[in-house]
Amino acid sequence: MRDSTAGFRAYRAECLRAIDLEAVKTKGYGFQVDMTRRVMHAGFGIVEIPIAFRERILGQSKMSGAIILEAMWMVTLWGMRRPFAYFQRGTSRA
């Protein structure tokens, strides 16, 4: 996967049923990364379909320092809790 923060996602119903959605507490970009992590941990595969992204012409980004810090903190925390967990899962169900 090239962009784990991409905002457009589609999940199979069986995948969402396998994930404890009540446990998801992250927001913003952290949510995107968290869901990717949970999908992989549940043994499902991820397929990325490239899109053409156009830079914003009007308006402002909703990205804040708090969103960036949350994403950095959560990724660090997950890495410390379960090192190499994804490589030990076996086959995926893409």
Query: Hey, where are the domains in the chain?
Result: 13-52+61-88
pLDDT confidence of residue 17:
94
pLDDT at res. 7: 67
DSSP string, 35-80: HHHHHHHTT--------PPPPP-SS-----HHHHHHHHHHHHHHHH
Please tell me the predicted confidence (pLDDT) of residue 15: 94
Q: Residue 89 has what pLDDT?
A: 53
Q: Give the single-character DSSP code of 5.
A: T
Tens place of pLDDT per residue across the chain (94 aa)? 666 566 678 899 999 999 999 998 887 778 888 888 899 989 998 888 877 777 777 777 777 778 778 878 887 887 777 765 555 555 455 5
Q: What pLDDT score does 93 carry? A: 52
